[in-house]
């Protein structure tokens, strides 16, 4: 899921957000078949995670964008997400009991979502809000964990916009990406302590000048960070891995685990099976062996996918 599972049980299926059909899809890993788990997701679903008890699936909504005047949009760059209309929802793993736990307008644009289950909190990046935020799993006690920009001008600076997020409860760190301009080679990955007063915590830049880093996954046991990158090849449109540096140290060498994506976005790392699942804007979900011995497409949806989670 978007936020690493601690157990070693291999995934049975992948949940994928499909904004073009306004659906959450349940994709069986064994045969690639799919069913609709939740429908009528008409507010730009993007980030997704599943609690370790397999009780609930949670997801963020970006909110409905403003469309360009007098012409249809040609890419996501034409969509204006600066209105504060993001929200956060949950449902049972059978799709029942859909509940809005943070209503529309609680934040600006919900992106990747991760669970800190020992703290009973959810963390997400707010892209056009230029922030990382958190709330309890029932939606109470919403907090600003990291605020990169506070003015309208600052929030429109693409260098300030947060996209990916991951939580390390064992060592007490919060990680996030700021992707920078499309294909700009100015993306960065950051880290800050989970505890402490927001605004006074030390913020470390671990990697910089990345093509366009998007979603994160953390492997606390082996000390590894995985991320997708939708930037320009050869280092972009990739799945990447690197060792997590010690406190106060910069990030080191990056290994490209897989490449050749069409705008790599969603990521779910299955340690039990030694496989990462990567979704992209072609609508494909690719299963990639973490040891580099092979990969294949398990499913393709018409149109693009955003967040994915393994269960």
User: Per residue in 174-183, pLDDT tens?
Assistant: 999 999 999 9
**What is the chain's length?**
311
User: What is the pTM for the complete model shown?
Assistant: 0.94
Q: What is the pLDDT of residue 6?
A: 47
Please tell me the distance from the alpha carbon of residue 53 to that of residue 151, in angstroms, as a whole number.
40
User: Per residue in 125-144, pLDDT tens?
Assistant: 999 999 999 999 999 999 99
Please count the CA atoms within 13 angstroms of the CA of 127 that sit on its side-chain side: 26
Class at the top of the CATH hierarchy for domain 13-310? mainly beta
Burial code of 136-166, b = ≥16 C-beta within 10 A, e = fewer? ebebeebeebbbbbeeeeebeebbbbbbbbb
Q: What is the pLDDT of residue 71?
A: 64
The DSSP symbol for 154 reads H
Please tell me the distance from the alpha carbon of residue 268 to that of residue 12, in angstroms, as a whole number.
12
Please tell me the distance from the alpha carbon of residue 309 to that of residue 188, in angstroms, as a whole number.
23
Which residues of the chain register pLDDT less than 50? 1-6
Tell me which residue of 83, 89, 176, 161 sits closest to 126, measured CA to CA: 161
Q: What is the pLDDT of residue 69?
A: 67
């Amino acid at each position: 899921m978007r936020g690493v599972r601690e157990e070693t049980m291999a995934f049975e299926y992948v949940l994928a957000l499909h904004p073009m059909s306004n659906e959450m899809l349940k994709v069986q890993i064994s045969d690639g078949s799919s069913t609709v788990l939740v429908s009528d997701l008409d507010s730009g679903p993007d980030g997704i995670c599943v609690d370790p008890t397999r009780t609930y699936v949670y997801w963020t909504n970006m909110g409905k964008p403003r469309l360009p005047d007098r012409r249809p949009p040609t890419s996501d760059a034409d969509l204006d997400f600066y209105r504060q209309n993001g929200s956060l929802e949950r449902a049972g793993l059978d799709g029942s009991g859909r509940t809005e736990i943070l209503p529309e307008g609680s934040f600006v644009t919900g992106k990747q979502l991760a669970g800190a289950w020992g703290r009973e909190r959810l963390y997400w990046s707010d892209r056009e809000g230029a922030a990382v935020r958190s709330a309890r799993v029932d939606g109470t006690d919403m907090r600003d964990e990291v605020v990169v920009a506070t003015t309208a001008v600052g929030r429109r600076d693409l260098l300030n916009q947060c996209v990916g997020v991951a939580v390390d409860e064992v060592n007490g760190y919060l990680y996030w990406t700021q992707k920078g301009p499309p294909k700009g080679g100015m993306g960065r990955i950051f880290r800050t302590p989970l505890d402490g007063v927001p605004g006074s915590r030390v913020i470390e830049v671990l990697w910089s000048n990345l093509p366009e880093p998007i979603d994160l996954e953390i492997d606390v046991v082996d000390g590894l960070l995985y991320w997708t990158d939708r930037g320009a090849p050869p280092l972009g449109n990739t799945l990447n891995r690197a060792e997590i540096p010690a406190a106060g140290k910069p990030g080191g060498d990056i290994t490209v685990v897989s490449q050749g994506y069409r705008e790599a976005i969603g990521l779910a790392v299955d340690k039990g099976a030694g496989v990462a699942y990567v979704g992209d804007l072609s609508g494909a979900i690719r299963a990639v062996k973490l040891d580099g011995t092979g990969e294949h497409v398990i499913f393709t949806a018409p149109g693009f996918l955003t967040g994915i989670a393994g269960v």
